[in-house]
Amino acid sequence: MMIAVPGVFGGAALAHIRALLDAADWIDGNATSGHQSALAKRNRQLPEGSPAAVEIGNLILDALGRTPLFIAAALPARVFPPLVNAYGVGDTFAMHVDNAVRIRRGDDFRVRSDLSATLFLSEPDEYEGGELVVEDTYGAHSVKLPAGDMILYPASSLHHVTPITRGERRASFFWIQSMVRDDAARTTLFDLDGAIQTVAADRGHADEAVIRLTGVYHNLLRRWAEV
């Protein structure tokens, strides 16, 4: 399941993050790559643990906690501290799949990467190329969202970033361990949650059918969740 999450950031918060990026020192993007990714990746990123990376990561985590669509789609148990990268002209990230487990440098914090996330921090007209292309059983999906919008997709997906031909693309990327590791089960819960909200908007949350459907949702979550 791929889900676009609009408006994670906007206005002053987005402007503040972009100012931090303008003033930041960048390093080679392979500082956090696995062996396979290092062969495919050419970009820059903020050093893990740098003041700018930590501040931006905390702002992202706070914003996600206030974003109902993210919570409903991801059912997050743990979120890897967000990282930030930049692609300039000629930079690219060839086809790859994300590591199954991500470990933070310097301690034992780790997540099982059920979902990958890319939060765009550059506007689409600021660069050419740089599309995130995610492959699934229905084909290849090209994603290039407005600054402040995010895409969620299964971390098991083959994906790549097309070469930049003009400008610079900046984004945050991170991984989520969901309470429900199975993508099909998580999709079922997301669809059911959406249907409940639609019926509740029409009939009210005290309606008997809404109450029963809500019970079905929580019983399925109880069956599938790992906490």
User: Residue 119 carries which DSSP code?
Assistant: E
Query: Residue 113: which of 83, 62, 82, 79 has the closest Cα?
Result: 79
Instruction: Work out the average pLDDT over 146-169.
Output: 98
Instruction: Work out the average pLDDT over 184-192.
Output: 98
Q: How far apart are CA 156 and CA 209, in angstroms?
A: 36
CATH of residue 188's domain is: 4.10.860
Residue 35, annotated as binding a ligand: no
Residue 166, annotated as binding a ligand: no
185 or 105, which is more confident:
185
Question: pLDDT band for position 10 (50/70/90)?
Answer: confident
| Number of domain units in the chain | 2
pLDDT at position 133 is: 98
Residues with Cβ within 8 Å of residue 137, at least 6 apart in sequence? none
Is the model's pLDDT at 35 over the cut of 70? no
Domain range for 103 is 3-178
Question: Between vectors from CA 7 to CA 5 and to CA 11, what angle results, nearest 5°?
Answer: 160
Q: Are 197 and 108 within one domain?
A: no
pLDDT at position 30 is: 77
Q: Are 144 and 212 within one domain?
A: no
pLDDT at position 195 is: 97
pLDDT at position 40 is: 78
Mean of all residue pLDDT scores within the chain: 94
pLDDT at position 105 is: 83
Residue 141, annotated as binding a ligand: no
Q: Are 33 and 14 within one domain?
A: yes
Q: How far apart are CA 169 and CA 122, in angstroms?
A: 6
Is the model's pLDDT at 31 over the cut of 90? no
Is the model's pLDDT at 113 over the cut of 70? yes
Is the model's pLDDT at 189 over the cut of 80? yes
Residue 160, annotated as binding a ligand: no
